[in-house]
Amino acid sequence: MAAPYCASRFQSIRRKSRMVNIGGVGVGGENPVRIQSMTTTDTMDINATVKQTIELAETGCEIVRITAPNVRAAEALGEISKKVRSHGIDVPLVADIHFMPNAALEAAKHVEKVRINPGNYADRKKFQIREYSDSQYEEELDRLHESFSPLIERCKELGRSMRIGTNHGSLSDRIMNRFGDTPRGMAESALEFIRIARSYNYHDLVLSMKASNPKVMIEAYRLVVSLMNEEKMDYPLHLGVTEAGDGEDARIKSAIGIGSLLLDGLGDTIRVSLTEDPVQEIPVARDLARRANYWWSLPSREQDEVLEEVDPFSFSRRQCDEINLSKAGLSIGPKHPPSVLAKTKYSPSETAEIIQEVAKVQVGSKDTPVEGLILSLKHSSELPGLAILRSSLLGAIPFFLIDDIRKETDDDSIPPNRPNLCPVLWHSPHAAKDAASLARFLTLCEQAEQQPILSIDPYSEDETVASILANADLPLILTLNSEKSINPVAEYRSLATFVSQLGLHSPIWIRNDEPSRLFPDDDLFSGRILDSSILTGSLLCDGIGDLVSVENAGELDRNRGLAYNLLQGARARISKTEFVACPSCGRTQFDLQTTTQEVKKATGHLKGVTIAVMGCIVNGPGEMADADFGYVGSGPGKIDLYVGKNRVKSAIVQKDAVDQLVQLIKEENKWIAP
């Protein structure tokens, strides 16, 4: 396995990086996580670009990137910079360069930082398959050295910094042929450039490893840090999920990718890419950054070395028992995608309301039903309602009871010895409190043929409890009561490790329950999306999690919907069309926000199909990664359509392009009637 990439996976400890100065804003070192964004205006429209730069800075954006698609646009950056400064705004500016070394050399004269893409700085992509011998590969690196050196020398001379910004979708043919379309390929793509910069003693470098798939992006960042550690490099990281799209799905994907890495202690500056007005990116980025700054401010504790089964550099699903909850029609385990539980706001005494609510939700969401229902049982007077629910339509849906009434009665015998009142499943938050109560609970479950679900303390050192768990006759489902936890991801990782040390293979239930309100001024709604995405996404991308519940988002339907969106964001369960949409920039050939909405409206019912909407032909086809279909701007008012990486229709008039896309999907037999 590769070298460690973080100080601990069981507490959030910030990686030590060097500080890079970007026009007076320090990135890395002890600096807070910096927030950045990118303008979407045509760079040659200087006034519009200046206006948007100022708006971004005034909203809290600390670094603003502007595309420089050619030398003329790079020259325009000088004028833009002057005008922005004349308004008293000193936000550092970054030129975004693809393919054009000459534009980079020009831009370095005017802005504080230059971003290059190592996949296309010195290479044209031809999707060629070819074997490179070691000497041929060395020759390629010499060619790279020659193209890249002038920019290093210029940046060194002018005191500019640089981002080596790898994108999963635009790796060079050289890298693809040697390392494949992999996190390793992404990491090597950047390291080749960094080694050249170091040979000039130039170190004002920041790295990024962006992908539209958070799982790929997480692995690539972890791997590049591990490889940098081996070579004693400490360059700061710019985090981002690229082409995330818009709305809730984009926020979920960004929080999964960026939030998981921040929790691992990685990341010095972040950009949340949204296909929306870039100003909308800032509050999301700020909420993520302040979570990181808070986690990292907590004192770290001494910790014994922990041996995990998870390989953080390569995804595989954690192995566990298959549990067939056939009475309720639900099977969980590694062969099944994680199942969705959702909480109703009603209590068992409001039986009629529950039945109505569930019926409404299930009818409206045939492909994404509630697979288990969470009920809160607070008082023994609510027990009779369970009997009615049991004999109602809910006979097909397992119950998960929380807020154990034994809190009130301290009576372990309720409800397992009252099978006529029992729910199909029984969740006992306190069952593992002490050994005697745990043993009694497991016996009762066995007698009543109940599936035991235990909320346990993964840090328990009680050997009797451990031995009872290890010798349980029934398969167990395990979860945590993480309501008050500051780092529930670490606790679930500890749970998975604890379980494997006991020789158990219990499925794990990830609960998004009421979060402790660490940030009272957070927007409640968006704060919960971010927290749920970070918790669920981090674990799912590690392969941990067989049941996922959302208990805090509101109505049953909303809890259900958010749970499926979290699973889709982590690519753990695909239940609807996956959209990849670039955030747009000065190269964009059409109104990306409106067009993305039109494409979504026409194709949003195609489960399992990935559709990319990309603003330009220069980067779009490369960056749309693993999309099945691509809608790409090829000129003013003109669209090209792609199937995978192949362009199949060119220069379609934009007003016909959505219809033509639908036609193409039909021709490829991927269409279903809405």
- Report the residue number whose CB is nearest to ligand SF4: 615
Beta carbon of residue 239, minimum distance to ligand SF4 (angstroms, whole number): 17
Considering the complex, state which of residue 216 and residue 613 has its C-beta at the smaller distance from ligand SF4.
Answer: 613
Q: Report the C-alpha gap between 35 and 165 in whole angstroms.
A: 16
Considering the complex, state which of residue 536 and residue 619 has its C-beta at the smaller distance from ligand SF4.
Answer: 619
What DSSP assignment string belongs to 576-594? Answer: S-EEEE----TT--S-HHH
Beta bridge partners of 238: 269
Considering the complex, state which of residue 611 and residue 614 has its C-beta at the smaller distance from ligand SF4.
Answer: 614
Beta carbon of residue 585, minimum distance to ligand SF4 (angstroms, whole number): 3
DSSP 674: -
Q: Which residues bind ligand SF4 (CB under 6 A)?
A: 582-585, 587-588, 614-616, 618-620, 623
Considering the complex, state which of residue 500 and residue 619 has its C-beta at the smaller distance from ligand SF4.
Answer: 619
Considering the complex, state which of residue 338 and residue 583 has its C-beta at the smaller distance from ligand SF4.
Answer: 583
Beta carbon of residue 114, minimum distance to ligand SF4 (angstroms, whole number): 15
Beta bridge partners of 643: 629, 646
Considering the complex, state which of residue 399 and residue 629 has its C-beta at the smaller distance from ligand SF4.
Answer: 629
- Largest separation between any pair of C-alpha atoms in the chain: 81
3-state DSSP call for residue 633?
Answer: strand
Beta carbon of residue 631, minimum distance to ligand SF4 (angstroms, whole number): 11
Considering the complex, state which of residue 122 and residue 618 has its C-beta at the smaller distance from ligand SF4.
Answer: 618
Beta carbon of residue 619, minimum distance to ligand SF4 (angstroms, whole number): 4
Q: Which residues contact 185 (CB under 8 A, 6 or more apart)?
A: 171, 175, 176, 178, 179
3-state DSSP call for residue 425?
Answer: strand
Considering the complex, state which of residue 40 and residue 81 has its C-beta at the smaller distance from ligand SF4.
Answer: 40
Considering the complex, state which of residue 253 and residue 587 has its C-beta at the smaller distance from ligand SF4.
Answer: 587
Beta carbon of residue 622, minimum distance to ligand SF4 (angstroms, whole number): 8
What tokens appear for 123 in the block? 């290479």
Closest by CA to 610, choosing from 568, 652, 654, 651, is 568
* CB-CB contact of 191 with 208 (8 Å): no
* CB-CB contact of 203 with 233 (8 Å): no
Beta carbon of residue 98, minimum distance to ligand SF4 (angstroms, whole number): 7
* CB-CB contact of 278 with 40 (8 Å): yes
Q: Report the C-alpha gap between 141 and 155 in whole angstroms.
A: 21
H helix runs in 87-172, sequence order:
101-107, 134-158
Backbone angles phi, psi at 447, to 5 degrees: -60, -40
Beta carbon of residue 632, minimum distance to ligand SF4 (angstroms, whole number): 8
Closest by CA to 118, choosing from 185, 58, 165, is 165
Beta carbon of residue 620, minimum distance to ligand SF4 (angstroms, whole number): 4
Q: Cα dihedral angle (44, 48, 51, 57), rounded to 10 degrees? A: -60
